Amino acid sequence: MGWIVGRKEQEIIKKVLEHLDIMSVELSELRKLIEKYLNHDFDDIEQTAERVRYYEHQADIARREAETLMYSGAFLPNFRGDLLGIIETADKIGNKGEFVADILELEHPVIPEILNSQLLKLFDICVETYEALKIAIKYLFEDLEKIEEQVLLVEQKEHEVDGIERSLIKQIYRMDISNGHKFQLKELVRSIADIADRAEDCSDRVEIVSLKRRV
């Protein structure tokens, strides 16, 4: 990629990829939290939620470092603005992960066991959506021709998430529980699904930027 020239650009790329990798770790910690919660293993819920918050904070630090480097004049102005937009949109995925952790730790919703397997499946496909996005962003610096395949995979996974989300909400509203309980469970499901929604939002930006780079 001839338009990546200097050491400063390479430092930014390294920091952008670090930001994305830290969010992968955050989502991995969130998976542990959800699993423990569904198994009623509440002993170290607070510590596990704290690890989710820790990695979300570390991701924020990496994002700010990447942005600071970019503001010092690396990359052409158009691409710099596009890349800043991608980083900021990707960061919202980590924010949503922390929000889900807060729901479990602070609101402590009672989750009927019948929902457990579908909730874990929903989360796992959200993570797959994010990982496909991560590869697409990596290809922005390596091989623009490979981005479209990852963008399509993000769309496919997000569509799968939508289907599970609707199925879960339908199931919740058929349950013999209070309306308040139904609403609380619906908000948990929607907040998890938002991880994939935000990944798709970012993927759309990546696709547009890749098209601009190829013109």
* Residue range 51-105, pLDDT digits in tens: 999 999 999 999 999 999 888 877 767 788 899 999 999 999 999 999 999 999 9
d(CA 130, CA 137): 11
pLDDT at 69: 87
Q: What is the per-residue pLDDT across 3-32, written as a single tens digit (0 to 9) for each?
A: 456 788 888 899 999 999 999 999 999 999
Under DSSP, the state recorded for 2 is T
d(CA 193, CA 121): 11
d(CA 210, CA 138): 11
d(CA 64, CA 70): 10
Tell me the average pLDDT of the chain. 93
For tokens 């496919």, name the residue: 156
User: Domain 7-214 is of which CATH architecture?
Assistant: Up-down Bundle (1.20)
H helices of 103-214, where?
116-140, 147-173, 179-214
* Sequence-separated (6 or more) residues with CB below 8 Å from residue 51: 29
State the Cα angle at 184 between 196 and 156, rounded to 5°. 20
d(CA 68, CA 208): 24
Q: pTM (2 decimals)?
A: 0.94
